[in-house]
Amino acid sequence: MRHMRKSAGVLAAGAVAALALTACSTGDGETPGDSTDATVDAVEVDCADFEQYGDLSGKTVTIYAGIVAPEDTPYMTSFEPFEECTGATVDYQADKQFEQQILVRAQAGNTPDIAIVPQPGLLAQLVATGTVVPAPEGVAANVDEFWGESWKDLGTVDGTFYAAPSGASVKSLVWYSPTQFEENGYEVPETLDDLMALTEQIAADGNNKPWCAGIASGEATGWPLTDWMEDMVLRVGGPDVYDQWVSHEIAFDSEVPTQALDAVGEYLKNPDYVNGGIGDVSTIATTAFQDAGLPILDGQCSLHRMASFYAANFPEGTDVADDGDVFAFYLPSEDSSTKPVLGAGEFVTAFSDRPEVQALLEFWSTDTWANLKAAASSEETGGGWITANSGLDTDNLVNPIDLLSAEILLDPASEFRFDGSDQMPAAVGSGAFWKESTNWITGQSTADTLSKIEAAWP
Amino acid sequence: MTTTPPPVQVVLPAGRSEGDVAATVRATKRRLTSPWATVAAIVLATVWTIPTFGLLVTSFRPAADINSTGWWTVLTNPNFTLENYRTVLATDSSQSLLPFVINSVVIAVPSVVLPIFLATLAAYSFAWMQFRGRDALFVAVFALQVVPIQVTLIPLLSLYADIGVAGTFWAVWISHTMFGLPLAVFLLHNFMREIPGELVEAARVDGAAHVTVFFRLMLPLLKPALAAFGIYQFLWVWNDLLVALTFAGSSNQVAPMTVALFNLTGTRGSQWFLLSAGAFVSIIVPAIVFLALQRYFVRGLLAGSVKG
Amino acid sequence: MNVADKLVAMVLALAAFAVVIGLILFVVSLLERRGARRVAWFFVGPTVLLLIVGLLYPAGRTVVRSLFDAAGSSFIGIANYTAIFSSPDQLVVLRNTVLWVLVTPFVATLVGLLYAIWVNGARGESAAKALIFLPMAISFVGASIIWKFVYEYRFYDPDVRVNPEQIGLLNQVLVWLGMQPQQFLLNQPWNNLFLIVVMIWIQAGFAMTILSAAIKAIPAEITEAARLDGVSASQLFRFVTVPAIRPTLVVVLTTIAIGCLKVFDIVRTMTGGLYGTSVVANEFYTQSFTAGNQGLGAALAVLLFVLVIPIIVYNVRQLRQAEAR
C-alpha cells in the first residue's frame, strides 16, 4: 500500500494559508506520514489495482499539454502511483502554445503518445489528421460509468469515441463580495429577473457601479464575452436550442442568439452598470480579464461573471469563502426550475495504441486517478482543479470554490453544456466570435456583429 | 521581422569624394546652424527621446507608484527602487525573464555566425570563381530577398516537425540562417568585388589554392564588411518576433525575450513594473552593440554607396 | 534545460557547423591539389541548398496551399483571394495596409530629412543623430511597449468622485490642456494612426542616416554657388538639396514602404489586430495560427509577396536610371 507523496506539504500549506481557507483546514499543518487526514486517506493506492496493466518497466509514455507551471506539478504527482506500481515512466511536457503546436505536429505525423486537448473542436481537427487512435474498451467503460452520455459525446467524433474527459470547470458563475452583500442587504439572486433587479438596486444605491468586466487576453481577446453570450443562449433558448446554435442548425444571427446577445448588452453596454472601479463601457475591451474582477475587493464593483478558475487571480491573503471577501454564485436561470450550466473541460487524446499508453489512459479515466489529482491539486496549488467524474470524493477538495463548482457539476438537476466557442469551427470559435464580440463591446450593433460571425462560418 | 531595415544600395550624387564631403560640411556649417534649425532639432530630439525616457524612469519606480501616478511626478516626489529588475532577473521566480534572456543569447550567436560564414563562402565563389550559370544563380539569390518570410513559415514548420527539430533551438538557428543568406551574399559580394582583382589574380598565379586565398587574403580584408553584416544580422535576430513566435513556441526553454515580452503585454498588460524593466533588459544589449559599433553599422547600411 | 545545458547546446551547434565547413574546405583543398578546377560548387552549394529548402520550396507550397480550403482538403481555386477582396473585415485589413504604406514612408522620410538638415554640421551632430537613431536598435516589441505606455489610458469622468491620475503621458497632456483623455488604441479609425506613429518613430532614424550621408555628398561648389547667389534656405532645400538626393530619397521611401507592408510586431503587440487595426502581415498570422484557416493565411502571405514586387521593381528601375546618368 502506497501513500501519496507529500513532500510538497510546505508549498501546499503556504498556498492554502495564502487563500485563508477558513472553511476547510484539511491541507493545513499536515506532516508527512500523517494519514489520519481525509485528503490522503481517500486516495490510498494499492499496487494490486495496477496488476491488470502488467509490468511496464522501461516503457515511457509521453504527454504533451498546454498546462504549464505551477498547475503541471499536480499532474505529475497524480501519475506517480502508476509509475511506481507498473514501472513505466511518464514524461510530461507542456507548452503555452500547445494549441498551435499540436496541430502542426499532428499534420506532420510527429505526435506525442497522449495530448491533453482542451477543446472538442481541436479534437475534431486532430482526428481529421488521421493520427488519433480510438479510446480503448476499458476507457469507454469507465467514461460510461463515471461521466455519462453528454461528456462521452464531447469526446466522440463521427460516431467513434476517442477521448475521455479529465478536468472540468464551471463557467456559469458570478463573483461577488459576501461582506458587501451583507452590509447592503443584497441577496444572491435566484432568477435572471432577480439578477437584473439586484443590478438596478446596486446602481440606484450609487456606491459603485454593479458590474465589472474585462475581455483583453492577448491572442484570445474577446473570449469572456463569448462565454457571457453562451450563458445567455442557454438561458434564453434552453439547452436544446443551445445545441442547435453550437452545431449551426440555427443561424448565428437568428432570433435566440440575437435576444441572448442583447441580454448581455443590457448589463455590459449600459454605462450605468459598468465598468465598476475601472471606467466606462469601452474599458471592458482593454482591461485584462485577470484584472477585471479585482475591483470587487475594494468595493468598487459588486458583480463579475467569470469561470471558477478566476479564484487564482485574487491576491494572496484574499478570503475566498461564502462568508469571506469574495465568493461566487451560480448565474441564475430564467426561473429556478431549470439549471443550465456552462462549463469547459479537457480531453485525454491518444496517438498511440502501445500497451503502456493504453494502460495509462485507462488509469486516467478511473475515479482513483480523479481523486489522486484532486488531492494533489489541493496540496500543491491550493486547489483550482475539479472534474465531472462522479467518483470524485469532494473531501479531496479544499477550496470552497472548487466545492461549489463540484456541487454544481455533480448536481443531477444541472444540465451541463460545454463552452460553445470551443466546439465551433476554429474560424468562428477562435476567430470571428472573439473578434466580433470585441467589436460589439466597442460599439458595433448586435445585428452587425451576429451577421458577421454568421458569414464567417465555413 | 525587425526594427532594422535592410541595408540599401544608395546612389549618391556624382562627382564627390571624401575631400568634397569635408568641404561641404565646412560650407554648410556656416549657414545651416541657424538658431531656428537648432531649436527645431532640439524639439524633435526631445519628442523622440521622451517615450523611451519615460519608460526607463518607470522601470525604476515601485509598482504601486507606477499605477497611481505618472512617471513625471518623480521630479517632485523621487522614489526609486531596483525591485522591478530584481523580479525580472531573479533566478528562482516564476515571473523571471532571465531564462528568456539566456535564450536570446543562445539563439543570436549561431544565427549570426552561420549565415555570415556560409554567405562569405558563396560570395567568394560568385566574385572570384568561374562556373557555369554563375551570373544567373547570383541574380536568383539576389532576387530571393523579396520573398517575405511569411510565405515560408508553415511549410517550414511541418518540415521541422518531420525531422524532429520543431520547437528546438535548431529550428530557430536554421531559419535565421536561411532568411539571412540572400542579403548576406549580396552585401558581401559587393564588398568583395571592391578588392582589387590583381591581388587575387597574383595570389592565384603564385599557385595559391582558393581555400588559401579565401582564408589568407579575403577574410582579413573583409573584416569591416563582416562586422557590418554581423551587427545588422545580430539586431535582426535579437529583435525578431515572428520567427521566434512561430518556431520557438513560448516556453522558457527556447523562446527569446521578444516572445516573453509579447506574451506579457497580452496577458499582463497592466503590470508595467514587469513590462518596463523587462523591456529595458531586452533593449540594453542591442543598444550597446549599436552605439559602440554604430560606425560599422552605418557603413553596412550604406553598403551600396561605398562602391559609388 | 538549465543555463549550462543551453550554452553547451549552442557551443556544440557551432562546433558541428565548424566541423562540416572544415570538412568541405578540406575536400576542396584536396581536390585542388589534384588539379580539379570545378570546386566552386563546394563554396556556393550549402547556400544554394539552404535557399532551396528554406525559401523556394516553402514559397511554392504556400502558393499551392492558398488554393485550398481551411482544412487543406479540397481545392477551391481562387476563392481565398476573392475572400480577401470581398469580406468586409478583410477590406478593413487592406485599407489599413494601404494607410501604413502611404503615410509612414513619407512622414518618416520628411522628419529624417529635416532633422538631417537641421543638425548637419552642428556642434554635437553625431550625438544629436544618435538620439533619433537609437529607436532603430530597439525591437518592435520593445518600441510597442514604450508607446503603449505613452498611450496608457485611465478612465476619467467628471461626474464620478474618483478620477485616477493619468499614467500615460499623452493623456496627461490632454488633461493639462483641459481635454478628456482618450482610448488612443481603441477609437477607430484613428487608432491606426497611433500605431503608425510607432513605425515613424523607428524609421525616421533610418531615413535620417541615409539622407544625411547623401546630403554631405552634395558637391560643396553647388551649395556654395547657390549661397553666393543669395538663395534662401528654403529655396536651397527645394531646388538644390532635394533634386541632388532624389535617387536616395526613392530608395529610402521604398525601403520603408516594404517594411510597412510586412509590419507585424507592432500591430500584434499593441492591439493584436483588434479594434479595426489589423494589417495583411498580422491577418496572415491570425488566420494561420489562431483562426485555423491556413488556406486564407497562405493567400494573405502570397498577397504580401505580390505587393512587395512592384515596389522593388520601381526601386531597381530608379537605381538603374540614376546609375545611367
- Portion 107-166 of B in contact with C at CB < 8 A: 109-110, 113-114, 117-119, 121-122, 124-126, 129-131, 134, 137, 141, 144, 146-148, 150-156, 159
CB pair distance less than 8 Å for A97 and B94: no
The single-letter DSSP state of residue A208 is S
**From CA B275, how far away is CA A218, in angstroms rounded?**
14
Is A384 in contact with A313 (CB distance < 8 Å)? no
Residue B46 has pLDDT above 60, yes or no: yes
Instruction: Summarize the confidence of residues B112-133 as an average pLDDT.
Output: 88
For C199-228, give the secondary structure using H, E and C: HHHHHHHHHHHHHHHHHHCCCHHHHHHHHH
**Residue B253 pLDDT grade (very low, low, confident, very high; cuts 50, 70, 90):** confident
Work out the minimum CA distance from C279 to partner chain A, whole angstroms.
14
Work out the minimum CA distance from C144 to partner chain B, whole angstroms.
9
**Residue B169 pLDDT grade (very low, low, confident, very high; cuts 50, 70, 90):** very high
A426-442, pLDDT tens digit by residue?
A: 889 888 899 999 999 99
Mean pLDDT, chain C, rounded, equals: 87
Reading the block at residue C26, the C-alpha cell is 578540406
**Residue C36 pLDDT grade (very low, low, confident, very high; cuts 50, 70, 90):** low
C54 → chain B, closest CA residue? B178
CB pair distance less than 8 Å for B266 and A219: yes
**C152: three-class secondary structure by DSSP:** coil
- Portion 277-336 of A in contact with C at CB < 8 A: 278-280, 282-283, 285-286
Q: Which residues of C217-227 are buried (b: 16+ CB within 10 A; e: fewer)?
A: bbbbebbbebb
Most confident of A33-37, A214-218, A345-349, B90-94: A345-349
**From CA A92, how far away is CA A82, in angstroms rounded?**
14
**Helix extents (H) in C138-190:** 140-151, 169-176
CB pair distance less than 8 Å for A108 and B267: no
Contacting residues of C for A282, CB less than 8 Å apart = 183, 186
Reading the block at residue B219, the C-alpha cell is 577574410
Is B264 in contact with B275 (CB distance < 8 Å)? yes
The pLDDT assigned to A191 comes to 93
B181 → chain C, closest CA residue? C47
CB pair distance less than 8 Å for A101 and B249: yes
* Domain boundaries defined on chain B: 33-81, 98-302
Q: Which CATH number fits domain C86-324: 1.10.3720.10, 3.40.50.300, 3.90.100.10, 3.40.190.10?
A: 1.10.3720.10
- C-alpha count within 13 angstroms, C-beta hemisphere, residue C137: 23
The contacts of residue A421 (CB under 8 Å, 6+ apart) are A223, A226, A227, A230, A428, A429, A430, A433, A434
Contacting residues of B for C268, CB less than 8 Å apart = 241, 262
Of A220, A278, A282, the CB nearest to C186: A282
Place of cell 461577488: A176
A196-247, pLDDT tens digit by residue?
A: 999 999 999 988 899 999 998 877 889 999 999 999 999 999 999 999 999 9
**A168: three-class secondary structure by DSSP:** strand
Instruction: Determine the residue among B150, B173, B293 to mutate to test chain C binding: the one whose Cβ has the most chain C Cβ atoms within 10 Å.
Output: B150
A260-314, pLDDT tens digit by residue?
A: 999 999 999 999 999 888 888 888 998 888 889 989 998 889 999 999 888 878 8
For chain B, give the secondary structure using H, E and C: CCCCCCCCCCCCCCCCCHHHHHHHHHHHHHHHCCHHHHHHHHHHHHHHHHHHHHHHHHHCCCHHHHHHCCHHHHHCCCCCCCHHHHHHHCCCCCCCCHHHHHHHHHHHHHHHHHHHHHHHHHHHHHHHCCCCCHHHHHHHHHHHHHCCCHHHHHHHHHHHHHHCCCCCHHHHHHHHHHHHHHHHHHHHHHHHHHCCHHHHHHHHHCCCCHHHHHHHHHHHHHHHHHHHHHHHHHHHHHHCCHHHHHHCCCCCCCCCHHHHHHHHHHHCCCCHHHHHHHHHHHHHHHHHHHHHCHHHHHHHHCHHHHHC
A219 → chain C, closest CA residue? C272
Work out the minimum CA distance from B161 to partner chain A, whole angstroms.
6
CB pair distance less than 8 Å for A95 and B249: yes
Of A69, A108, A288, the CB nearest to B268: A288
The pLDDT assigned to C234 comes to 80
Burial label, C37 (beta-carbon count in 10 A; 0-12, 13-18, 19+): exposed
Q: To 10 degrees, what angle do helices C191-216 and C246-261 make? A: 150
Choose among C217, C240, C216, C238: nearest CA to C228. C240
The pLDDT assigned to C19 comes to 93
Is A175 in contact with A296 (CB distance < 8 Å)? yes
Residue A107 has pLDDT above 50, yes or no: yes
Contacting residues of C for A430, CB less than 8 Å apart = 290-292
Work out the minimum CA distance from C88 to partner chain B, whole angstroms.
23
If one compares C97 and B189, the residue with the highest pLDDT of the two is C97
Number of residue pairs across A and B with CB atoms under 8 Å? 56
Which of A57-66, A319-328, B136-145, C224-233 shows the lowest per-residue confidence on average (mean pLDDT)?
C224-233
Give the Cβ contact number of residue B204 at 10 Å: 15
Is A12 in contact with A384 (CB distance < 8 Å)? no
The pLDDT assigned to C17 comes to 92
Work out the minimum CA distance from B220 to partner chain C, whole angstroms.
18
Residues of B with CB under 8 A from a CB of A: 94, 154, 157-159, 161-162, 164, 166-167, 249-251, 263, 265-270
Choose among B2, A448, A150, A436: nearest CA to C138. B2
Residue B221 has pLDDT above 80, yes or no: yes
Contacting residues of B for A290, CB less than 8 Å apart = 267-268
C116-175, pLDDT tens digit by residue?
A: 988 888 888 888 888 998 898 899 999 999 999 999 988 766 555 456 788 899 999 998
The pLDDT assigned to C156 comes to 66
The pLDDT assigned to A12 comes to 31
Which of A17-31, A62-76, A283-297, A417-431 shows the lowest per-residue confidence on average (mean pLDDT)?
A17-31
The pLDDT assigned to B201 comes to 80
Is A19 in contact with A315 (CB distance < 8 Å)? no
- Does residue A272 sit at the C interface (CB-CB below 8 Å)? no
Residue A190 has pLDDT above 60, yes or no: yes
Q: What is the largest CA-CA distance in chain B?
A: 75
**Residue A31 pLDDT grade (very low, low, confident, very high; cuts 50, 70, 90):** very low
- Does residue A100 sit at the C interface (CB-CB below 8 Å)? yes
Place of cell 578540406: C26
Q: How far does Cα A442 stand from its chain's mean position?
A: 27
Work out the minimum CA distance from C93 to partner chain B, whole angstroms.
16
C74-96, pLDDT tens digit by residue?
A: 899 999 999 999 988 899 999 99
If one compares A453 and A312, the residue with the highest pLDDT of the two is A453
- C-alpha count within 13 angstroms, C-beta hemisphere, residue C305: 23
**Residue A47 pLDDT grade (very low, low, confident, very high; cuts 50, 70, 90):** confident
Instruction: Summarize the confidence of residues C239-258 as an average pLDDT.
Output: 87
Which of A27-41, A61-75, B101-115 shows the lowest per-residue confidence on average (mean pLDDT)?
A27-41
Contacting residues of C for B126, CB less than 8 Å apart = 44
CB pair distance less than 8 Å for B250 and A96: yes
Class in CATH terms, B98-302: mainly alpha
Residue C52 has pLDDT above 80, yes or no: yes
Is C182 in contact with C153 (CB distance < 8 Å)? yes
Work out the minimum CA distance from B262 to partner chain A, whole angstroms.
9
Give the Cβ contact number of residue C238 at 10 Å: 12
Of B71, B147, B287, the CB nearest to C305: B147
Residue A158 has pLDDT above 60, yes or no: yes
**Residue B231 pLDDT grade (very low, low, confident, very high; cuts 50, 70, 90):** confident
Work out the minimum CA distance from A117 to partner chain C, whole angstroms.
15
C24 → chain B, closest CA residue? B211
Contacting residues of A for C87, CB less than 8 Å apart = 455
Residues of C with CB under 8 A from a CB of A: 69-71, 73, 87-89, 153-157, 183, 185-186, 188, 272, 274-276, 286-287, 289-293
Choose among A43, A62, A289: nearest CA to A171. A289
The pLDDT assigned to C80 comes to 92
**Residue C227 pLDDT grade (very low, low, confident, very high; cuts 50, 70, 90):** confident
Instruction: Determine the residue among A442, A449, A452, A453 to mutate to test chain C binding: the one whose Cβ has the most chain C Cβ atoms within 10 Å.
Output: A442
**From CA A192, how far away is CA A236, in angstroms rounded?**
10
CB pair distance less than 8 Å for B69 and C167: yes
Which of B204-213, C133-142, C181-190, C281-290 shows the lowest per-residue confidence on average (mean pLDDT)?
B204-213
**From CA A207, how far away is CA A125, in angstroms rounded?**
49
CB pair distance less than 8 Å for B158 and A95: no
Q: To 10 degrees, what angle do helices A367-381 and A9-19 make? A: 70
Residue B131 has pLDDT above 70, yes or no: yes
Is C58 in contact with B155 (CB distance < 8 Å)? yes
B253 → chain A, closest CA residue? A95
Of A100, A218, A442, the CB nearest to C275: A442
A103 → chain B, closest CA residue? B158
| C-alpha dihedral sign at A98, A99, A102, A108 | negative
A94 bridge partner residues: A65
Confidence (pTM): 0.85
Mean pLDDT, chain B, rounded, equals: 81
A440 → chain C, closest CA residue? C275
Instruction: Determine the residue among B18, B24, B200, B285 to mutate to test chain C binding: the one whose Cβ has the most chain C Cβ atoms within 10 Å.
Output: B24
* Domain boundaries defined on chain C: 3-65, 86-324
The pLDDT assigned to A37 comes to 37
Number of residue pairs across B and C with CB atoms under 8 Å? 396
**A302: three-class secondary structure by DSSP:** strand
Residue B276 has pLDDT above 90, yes or no: yes
Residue B18 has pLDDT above 70, yes or no: no
Transcribe C31-96 into DSSP letters: HHHTT----HHHHHHHHHHHHIIIIIHHHHHHHHHTTB-TTS-SB-TTHHHHHHHHSHHHHHHHHH
Choose among A174, A183, A172: nearest CA to A299. A183
Is A231 in contact with A331 (CB distance < 8 Å)? yes
Give the Cβ contact number of residue C134 at 10 Å: 20
Chain A touching partners, 3 or more CB pairs below 8 A: B, C
- Total residues belonging to chain A: 458
Work out the minimum CA distance from B88 to partner chain C, whole angstroms.
15
